[in-house]
Amino acid sequence: MRIIKLIFKNAFRHKLRTLLTVVGISIAVMAFSLLRTVVTAWSAGVEASAANRLITRQAISFIFPLPLAYRDQIAQIPGVDVVTYANWFQGVYIDKNQFFARLAVDPETIFKVYPEFLLTDEEYQTFLKERNSCIIGQDIAKQYNLKIGDLMTIEGDIYPGNWQFVVRGIYKPRDKTTDATQMLFHWNYLNERMIELGVGRDNEVGWYIVKIKDPSQTGNVSEQIDALFKNSRAETKTESERAFQQGFVQASSAIITSMNVISFVIIGIIMLVLGNTMIMSARERTREYAVFKTIGFSGGHMVGLVLGESLFISALGGGLGLFLSFPIIEGFGSVIPRGFFPVFELEPITLVFAVSSVILIGVAASIFPIQKALRTSIVDGLRFIG
């Protein structure tokens, strides 16, 4: 108990210095948590991928369309359960800063392929009956205060014109990693308008989503699909949904790598801040350590004093930083468009990294002061002036 009292009193002997150290550590921990949250949010789509879903896209590039006629041919391949498709619609809702996925889909099959989008049967049946109806995720409904029956007017860019949609359903995410920031509407509604305008984009889809019966047959089914359209005017590339999502993440790999590096550089900064504080404290207490040794304090006691003080300050700053990280990350997530980061929250792995780092830094910052306290003889310590 006496050692604990000494640790506490030593930690607050220089209140301003300790306060600045705690603040510095807490700011660094908050920055680390925020950067790591951005990195994990970037990869959330990969984690949400299903093992039994394949994505078939144009072999040259994702931006080129595929013929609608491919659907029936893909459905006949052994091992295929359900085939659905989607078009990236984009458009402008309210203004250009409001970003979320707006997709034209096949209403009869989309929810069979994506069972993690939870919708009531009443909402689904209404959606099927109305050509200009749409389904939105609960996060979008919350962000824009939309309710069933509300109108959503979107100004087309890829597909010209003004488009009006009626919200007929709000789907809920089944899992934590499920994207609840999408808008889904009838592909036929889009296709009919393209036929009327005569712009030549009718009977085309952006990509196919293929649900297979056996996830272990991913490679085999993918090869069969691509072989089916080899040497055609629109060759395909089929891959697992996870590989497809990873392709988008890898396109930003330099940014993600930089954030990872910076987040761990911050850990080094924390160690330097705390290490500087502990070295200054050890130097000031050289004579005190000599007195402690004189009155019978052992080497273990000396280690406990220095290590305890370092861990105490580190834990205080780290705890404050983690406590403040939750509202800061929540606030940051509320101001960015939900479509960019559908899942943006502090992950358990980030907490583990942060807590482990705080403990390791507390230990590392105490190593040099402990060595100095143990190596300094009683005579040299009592002679020390500084």
What's the pLDDT tens digit per position in 104-126?
Answer: 999 999 999 999 999 999 999 99
> How confident is the model at residue 205, as a pLDDT?
92
Structure tokens at 26: 């807490």
Identify the residue with better confidence: 88 or 308: 88
* Winning range, highest mean pLDDT, from 3-7, 173-177, 244-248, 337-341: 173-177
Residues 346-360: tens digit of each pLDDT: 888 888 888 888 888
Residues for the chain: how many in total?
Answer: 386
Torsion, CA 165, CA 170, CA 174, CA 179, rounded to 10:
40
Q: What angle do CA 132, 137, 142 make, to 5 degrees?
A: 110
Residue 255 pLDDT exceeds 80:
no
CB 232, CB 4: distance < 8 Å:
no
* Euclidean distance between CA atoms 70 and 259, whole angstroms: 41
Identify the residue with better confidence: 321 or 10: 321
CB 241, CB 49: distance < 8 Å:
yes
CB-based contacts of 54, cutoff 8 Å, min separation 6? 209, 210, 211, 212, 218, 221, 222, 225, 238, 239, 240, 241
Identify the residue with better confidence: 202 or 180: 180
DSSP string, 285-296: THHHHHHHHHTT
Torsion, CA 56, CA 58, CA 64, CA 67, rounded to 10:
-70
Own/partner contacts of 115-122, CB < 8 Å, gap of 24 or more, are: 115/174, 116/48, 116/50, 116/173, 116/174, 116/175, 116/178, 117/171, 117/172, 117/173, 117/174, 117/178, 118/171, 118/172, 118/173, 118/174, 119/169, 119/170, 119/171, 119/172, 120/169
Residue 336 pLDDT exceeds 90:
no
Residue 27 pLDDT exceeds 90:
no
> How confident is the model at residue 61, as a pLDDT?
83
What is the widest separation between alpha-carbon atoms in the chain?
97
CB-based contacts of 380, cutoff 8 Å, min separation 6? 290
Could you give the C-alpha distances from 83 to 90, 110, 179, in angstroms and in order?
23, 9, 20
Residues 261-317: tens digit of each pLDDT: 887 788 788 778 788 778 777 777 777 777 777 877 777 777 888 888 888 888 898
Band (pLDDT 50/70/90 cuts) for residue 53 is very high
CB 33, CB 333: distance < 8 Å:
no
Identify the residue with better confidence: 294 or 130: 130
CB 12, CB 313: distance < 8 Å:
no
CB 93, CB 230: distance < 8 Å:
no
Range 149-164 average pLDDT: 89
Residues 203-242: tens digit of each pLDDT: 889 999 999 999 889 999 999 999 999 988 889 999 988 8
Could you give the C-alpha distances from 245 to 182, 206, 249, 252, 356, in angstroms and in order?
16, 15, 7, 12, 30
Q: What angle do CA 205, 207, 211 make, to 5 degrees?
A: 120
> How confident is the model at residue 384, as a pLDDT?
63
Single-letter amino acid, residue 72: D
Identify the residue with better confidence: 147 or 341: 147
Q: What is the CA radius of gyration of the chain?
A: 30
CA 222 to the chain's CA centroid = 29
